[in-house]
Amino acid sequence: MAGPAPTSLAGRAAAPMDAAAVLFHDAPLAIYLRAPDGSFLEVNRAMAQLFGYDSPGQFLEAMAAFPDQHYLDPASRRAVLDELAATGFVTGRQYQAMGRDGFVLWVEESARLVDAGGDEHYYFGYLRDITAEKSTKWALTEAEEKYRAIFEHAVEGLFQMTPAGRFVTVNDALCAMLGFPAATALTDDPEAAARLFVDDGTRRGLTLALEEADMVRALDAELRRADGTRIWVSIHARAVRDGNGRVVLHEGSMVDVTERRLSQEQLRQSLARTSLLFHQTVTSLSKTVRYRDPYTAGHQDSVSRLATAMARRLGLSADEAAGIRVAGQLHDIGKIVVPVRYLCKPGRLVGLEWEFMRQHAQAGYEILKEIDFPWPVAAVVWAHHERLDGSGYPRGLSGPDIPLGARILAVADVLDAMASNRPYRPALGVAAALEELARHRGTGFDAAAVDAARSVIRDGLIRY
Amino acid sequence: MAAKRILTVDDAESVRSLVSRTLGQAGYDIVEAVDGADALDKVAGGVDLVITDINMPGMGGLELLGRLRQRPDTRFTPVLVLTTESQSAMRRQAVAAGATGWIVKPFEPASLVALVRRFLS
Question: What confidence score (pLDDT) does residue A11 get?
Answer: 46
Kindly determine whether residue A142 and residue B95, on different chains, have CB atoms separated by under 8 Å.
no
Question: Does residue A17 surpass a pLDDT of 50?
Answer: yes
Which of B103, B116, B119 should one mutate to test binding to chain A, selecting the residue with the greatest count of A CBs within 10 A?
Answer: B103
Kindly determine whether residue B115 and residue A142, on different chains, have CB atoms separated by under 8 Å.
no
Q: Which amino acid is at A307?
A: A
Highest mean pLDDT among A23-27, A308-312, A398-402: A308-312
What's the rounded mean pLDDT across residues A24-41? 91
Report how far residue A407's alpha carbon sits from residue A339's, in angstroms, rounded to the nearest whole number: 27
Q: Where is pLDDT greater, at A289 or A374? A: A374
The answer to whether residue B22 neighbours chain A at the CB level (below 8 Å) is no
Report how far residue A384's alpha carbon sits from residue A413's, in angstroms, rounded to the nearest whole number: 8
The minimum CA-CA distance between A45 and chain B, rounded to whole Å, is 19
Report how far residue A42's alpha carbon sits from residue A57's, in angstroms, rounded to the nearest whole number: 9
User: Which residues of B fall within a CB distance of 8 Å from A142?
Assistant: 12, 14-15, 84, 105
- Of A99, A96, A104, nearest to B108 by C-alpha is A96
Question: What confidence score (pLDDT) does residue B1 get?
Answer: 58
Task: Write the burial class of residue A116 (CB in 10 Å: 0-12 exposed, 13-18 middle, 19+ buried).
Answer: exposed
A138 vs B84, B101, B115: nearest CB = B84
Highest mean pLDDT among A67-71, A326-330, A417-421, B102-106: A326-330
In this prediction, residue A294 has a pLDDT band, given cuts at 50, 70 and 90, of: confident
Smallest CA–CA distance from B10 into chain A, residue = A142
The answer to whether residue B108 neighbours chain A at the CB level (below 8 Å) is yes
For residues A122-160, one letter each, b for 16 or more C-beta atoms within 10 angstroms of the residue's C-beta and e for the rest, the string is bbbbbbbbebeebbeebbeebeeeeeeeeeeeeebbbbb
Question: Does residue A6 surpass a pLDDT of 60?
Answer: no
In this prediction, residue A146 has a pLDDT band, given cuts at 50, 70 and 90, of: confident
The answer to whether residue B105 neighbours chain A at the CB level (below 8 Å) is yes
Would you give the DSSP letter of residue A425? B
Q: Dihedral, CA atoms, B70, B71, B75, B79, nearest 10 degrees?
A: -90
Q: Which amino acid is at A111?
A: A
The minimum CA-CA distance between A159 and chain B, rounded to whole Å, is 24
Q: Which amino acid is at A41?
A: L
User: A313-317, A451-455, B110-114: which range is least confident on average?
Assistant: B110-114
* Kind plus residue range of the DSSP H or E element containing B46: none
Q: Three-state SS for A408? A: helix
Report how far residue A161's alpha carbon sits from residue A250's, in angstroms, rounded to the nearest whole number: 5
Q: In the predicted model, what is the mean pLDDT of chain A?
A: 89
Question: What confidence score (pLDDT) does residue A99 get?
Answer: 86
User: A87-91, A254-258, A380-384, B101-105: which range is least confident on average?
Assistant: B101-105
Question: Does residue A13 surpass a pLDDT of 60?
Answer: no
Which of A68, A70, A101, A104 should one mutate to test binding to chain B, selecting the residue with the greatest count of B CBs within 10 A?
Answer: A104
Kindly determine whether residue B13 and residue A106, on different chains, have CB atoms separated by under 8 Å.
no
Smallest CA–CA distance from A148 into chain B, residue = B12
Question: What confidence score (pLDDT) does residue A2 get?
Answer: 45
Question: Does residue A102 surpass a pLDDT of 50?
Answer: yes
Report how far residue B50's alpha carbon sits from residue A343's, in angstroms, rounded to the nearest whole number: 98
Q: Which residues contact B115 (CB under 8 A, 6 or more apart)?
A: A72, A98, A104, B80, B101, B103
Report how far residue B43's alpha carbon sits from residue B38's, in angstroms, rounded to the nearest whole number: 9
Q: What is the pLDDT of residues A192-210, one digit of tens each?
A: 887 899 998 999 999 999 9
User: A287-296, A316-325, A393-402: which range is least confident on average?
Assistant: A287-296
Question: What confidence score (pLDDT) does residue A16 get?
Answer: 60
Per-residue tens of pLDDT for chain B, all 121 residues = 578 999 999 998 889 999 999 999 999 999 999 999 999 999 988 899 999 999 898 899 999 999 999 999 999 999 999 988 878 788 888 888 889 988 988 988 888 998 898 888 7
Question: What confidence score (pLDDT) does residue A1 get?
Answer: 42
User: Which residues of A fall within a CB distance of 8 Å from B105?
Assistant: 134-135, 138-139, 142
Question: What confidence score (pLDDT) does residue A147 get?
Answer: 86
User: A2-11, A79-88, A352-361, B78-87: which range is least confident on average?
Assistant: A2-11
> CA torsion sign, B96 to B99 to B101 to B102?
negative
- Edge-to-edge order in the sheet of strand A215-224: A167-170, A157-161, A247-256, A230-241, A215-224
Would you give the DSSP letter of residue A6? P
What's the rounded mean pLDDT across residues A73-83? 86
Report how far residue A380's alpha carbon sits from residue A322's, in angstroms, rounded to the nearest whole number: 13
User: A2-6, A142-146, B98-102: which range is least confident on average?
Assistant: A2-6
Percent share of chain A, pLDDT over 70? 96
Q: What is the pLDDT of residues A208-258, one digit of tens each?
A: 999 999 999 999 999 999 999 999 999 999 999 998 999 999 999 999 999
Kindly determine whether residue B115 and residue A146, on different chains, have CB atoms separated by under 8 Å.
no
The answer to whether residue A69 neighbours chain B at the CB level (below 8 Å) is no
Kindly determine whether residue B12 and residue A146, on different chains, have CB atoms separated by under 8 Å.
yes
The answer to whether residue B102 neighbours chain A at the CB level (below 8 Å) is yes
The answer to whether residue B95 neighbours chain A at the CB level (below 8 Å) is yes
The answer to whether residue A265 neighbours chain B at the CB level (below 8 Å) is no
User: Which residues of B fall within a CB distance of 8 Å from A72?
Assistant: 108, 110-111, 114-115
Report how far residue A382's alpha carbon sits from residue A364's, in angstroms, rounded to the nearest whole number: 7
Smallest CA–CA distance from B103 into chain A, residue = A104
Report how far residue B87's alpha carbon sits from residue B90's, in angstroms, rounded to the nearest whole number: 5
Q: Which residues contact A259 (CB under 8 A, 6 or more apart)?
A: none
End-to-end alpha carbon distance in chain B? 13
Phi and psi, residue A37, nearest 5°: -85, -5
- Of A164, A233, A170, A234, nearest to A195 by C-alpha is A164
The minimum CA-CA distance between A55 and chain B, rounded to whole Å, is 20
Give DSSP secondary structure letters for A21-79.
HHHHHH-SSEEEEE-TTS-EEEE-HHHHHHTT-SSHHHHHHHHHHSTTTTBSSHHHHHH
User: Which residues of B fall within a CB distance of 8 Å from A102?
Assistant: 99-102
Contacting A residues, span 101-120, partner chain B, CB-CB under 8 Å: 101-106
Give DSSP secondary structure letters for A190-204.
TTHHHHHBSSHHHHH
For residues A231 and A177, is the Cβ–Cβ distance under 8 A?
yes
For residues B16 and B23, is the Cβ–Cβ distance under 8 A?
no
